[in-house]
Amino acid sequence: MIMQTRLKQALEARGMTRYRLAQLTQIDFKNIDLIYKNPRKPVETETLGKIATVLGITDPNELLEIVLDEH
């Protein structure tokens, strides 16, 4: 099993852009873009915390999901 982010879905649900999220979290846009485009990329807990706070996410399942490994 692999954990992946649901950043794209979370942003779409809030009508927020990656650029705006980068501004509000003070996380470099390149990092936000990597997480957005590669949901299986490992993400530091601190980064996830900043994203969750800005997006008002209290349920980890809204930002993370576990998927079966395809290998």
Q: What is the per-residue pLDDT for 71?
A: 62
Parent domain of 14: 2-67
- Please provide the average confidence, as pLDDT, over all residues in the chain: 94
CATH number at residue 35: 1.10.260.40
Q: Where are the beta strands (DSSP E) in 1-71?
A: 2-5, 64-67
Residue 8 has pLDDT above 80, yes or no: yes
The predicted model gives 16-23 an average pLDDT of 98
What pLDDT band is residue 68 in, cutting at 50, 70 and 90?
confident
Q: Where would I find the H helices in 1-71?
A: 7-14, 18-25, 29-37, 45-55
Our count of domains for the chain comes to 1
> Residue 50 in contact with residue 25, Cβ under 8 Å?
yes
